[in-house]
Structures are given as structure tokens and as C-alpha cells.
Amino acid sequence: HAFTLFSTLMCFDLYTSQVASQSSGNSSLVLLQIVYRHGDRTPIATFKKDPHQIPTWKEGPGQLTKLGCMQHYKLGTYLRQRYADYITGNPHELTVWSSAKDRCLMSASCHLAGMYVPSPDWVWDKDLLWQPVPVQTRPIYDDGMLVPGDCHCPEASTEYERFKNSPRGQEFLRNHHSLYVNLSELTGETVDGWDKAAQIYDALLIEKIHNYSVPDWTESYWSRLKEQSDKSFVFYSATPLLKRLRAGLVLANITNYMKQAAVVNSSYDSGEKLKKLYMYSTHDTLVSSLLDALNIFDGKAPLYGSTLLLELHRDGAGGHFVEGYTLNALDMEPKRVSFPGCSAQPCPLDEFLRLASVNIPRDWRKECGLVPFISLSDGALALIIGQSALLAILAFGCTAYCLMQRRKVSKGSVIYSPLPTEFSTR
């Protein structure tokens, strides 16, 4: 098995080495940003009548599989060849962010193993052409950039419910009511809308991918289940507010780096804060929301390894333009995207920034309905800490003084206290 795997990887490397570089020419590329969905995973949840419950999967629920790792290794290997004239194998020329979900962190590691093979200067073991590349993450509950669906954002949940109760949402639910009733009976679950139906489709799709048997009724419902899955992504960012809350932070990150790269206007220098490559390892919901915010979403559920490549180029006159490409783990032939609203393709940077700005919130926390975050300067923070320390010292001193005074009273002595008299007040 090890020999077969090694042979497969070697053949794939040989194939990708023959792939031409991107059509625009790497010489004009000044910044590359890559956003991708994790690879193949186990079901996050099943349904009551599913013959293959979660214990069937040795990895546990929602975890990356060996197939998922291989998908991202191949994807990373392909991108290494595509950008061979741009990236160098220096692990410090890129920044990688990942959702804190295991499947995203592991996908990033597998992807980097294929994409960032160490150049000679960075080889630390001649028999192991691999190197560690840092992957940045943050707690899920506080990650509005890469896990907006699980991050605490009350207004996003409220807006999603508003959409469900809107004429458009209610019409869709009415039109598929009989489907939900039938699915409830077949699965043993209460299927009351597209989200639950999409969850059932997800479990069945994964079981089919891994050659598990599926219920007899699956095929007759397959196209309708797929429609529910696709629509769940369309509806996930269906309103302007949802687009801002779901994709606004990652879009702000992407555009900020583009602005910086246009100003720096030079190739990567280890002394510069700006990197050559920014990579985001995330989920299908973030990928679809980002595509939707850029008006290039095709309305289909993102496949494993679904990737958006955003390239910032400098033209001969010193101007900048943005090129976008999509691909996935099953189809690694990049497809160029056209950004609606741009006067030309590729899209001039200033126009791309203007189009993107519509879906970038001025204050994400405020629009989420969260308590404003108070940022303190170093001086103010030092003052507060100093005052707190002084109060603590005073409190300690007073306590110590009182204890010492009590100890001065000799054993058996009675502290004078006037006896009550008839004039005492009760």
C-alpha cells in the first residue's frame, strides 16, 4: 500500500510538472490569496434510520478522511506547479489562516505538504522533503472570518430566521412541504426545512463516496435532496445583511492586503510585513458566502477542496488588476471568473475594491448585535493595572493592621462594652 501511494504521488507530481503556468504570466503577479474548503470528511450527523451511525466512522464526526488529505495534497501540488515562478518554498513568505475545526487545520497541513515543499535553503532532512509551516487559528466562537456560522453573531441568526419567514422563504417551504413529510417518515427525523434536508443529503452523499450501502429510497429522492442542499447555500447568504455578516470579515482581509500590495508595489522582502501569499482554510458555507458577496456564486453546493484564487497583478503602466479563478479537488482545471460590475476583465483594482466594499461591514461586531469591544491604549491599561494593584495593597494592609491589633489584646481580657441601661435605645 505504501508503494502504491508513493507511486501515485510521483505520477501526480510528474503530471502537474507539465501543467503550464497561469495565462497572465507570473512576472506581473504581486499578491496571491487562496480560499478553499476542506477535503473529504466524515458525516457531521446522520439520521435515526441511517444504518451507518457515527460509530461506523473511526475518525469520528466531521473529521477529515485519508481521501480528504490526499485531495488537498494533490491540490497543493498542482498549485505549487502553477505558481512555480512566484512562490519559492520559503515558509515565511506566506500566512495561513484556518478555522479551528480539525478538518480545516488538517486540510491546511495536507495542502501545505504538497504546495510548500522546502527549497534547498529550507531542507532540514534530505530524506524528507517536508517542512513545518505555521497555521494561524482562533477559537470558533470568536472567529467571524472563517467560521461565521458557528461564531457568536446574534443578528445573523435573527436575519436568517427573518429570511425563512419572508415570502421567498415561506414559498420554498410550502412548495416542498410534501417532500419534508416523506423524508420525516423515511429518516425518523423531523424534517421541517431545507437545512435538515441538506443534512440528510450530506450524510448519504458521504456514504456513497465511501461505498457504503444507502437506503432503497435514496435514488428516487436524490435530485430533490441535492436541490435542498444547493438552496441551503443560496439561502445562507440570501440578504445583503447576511452577505456582510457571513463574508464581510474575510472580504475585508482580502481587500486590505490588496491595497497594501498595491502601495508596496514590490516583490516579497523578508523585512516587509506583507507576504506573497495568504491562504484561508475554511468551510463550504464561507466559500459560498464569499462567492455570493462577489456576485460569482453559481448556486451549487461547494465541493470538497472548492477553491477561489485571487491574483493581484501589476500592469506595465504601474496599475493593478484582479484576476479570479475557481477549481476544486475533483476538477483542478482553473476556470476564470468575471466579476460583474467591472468595466473590464480582468477587473481594475479600484473597481474590484468598490464592488467588494458593499459587503464589508464598517463595524462587524455592532452589526452582529454584540457589545462593542473596548480597546485600551497601553497607557490607559497600565493606569488601570496600577490603580488596581494600589487598591489591593491598601486592602491587604488594612486587613493585616486589624489582625495585629486584635492580637495585642491579652488572653482572657474582656474588651469594655457599656451595659445596656433603661435609657438604651432598642
Residues labelled catalytic: 38, 284
**CA nearest to 73, candidates 128, 147, 119, 9:** 9
Amino acid sitting at position 76: G
The answer to whether residues 118 and 129 touch, using CB atoms and an 8 Å cutoff, is: yes
Cα atoms in the Cβ-side hemisphere of radius 13 Å centred on 134: 8
Strand partners, 321: 313, 348
Q: Quick one: which H or E segment has residue 202?
A: helix 194-209
Are the C-beta atoms of 66 and 106 separated by less than 8 Å? no
The number of CA neighbours under 13 Å toward the Cβ of 209 is 18
- The per-residue DSSP string of 104-120 comes to HHHHHHHHHHHH-PPPG
User: CA torsion sign, 18 to 24 to 25 to 27?
Assistant: negative
Burial class (CB in 10 A: 0-12, 13-18, 19+), 35: buried
Give dist(CA 109, CA 38) in Å, integer.
11
Phi/psi for 31 (5° steps) reads -160, 135
Closest alpha carbon to 80 in 36, 30, 132, 22: 22
Task: Report which secondary-structure segment, H or E, holds 348.
Answer: strand 347-348
Q: What share of the chain is helix, strand, coil (3-state, %, to 5)?
A: 50, 10, 40
Specify burial of residue 358 (Cβ count, 10 A radius: 0-12, 13-18, 19+).
middle
Cα Rg for the chain, rounded, in angstroms?
Answer: 29
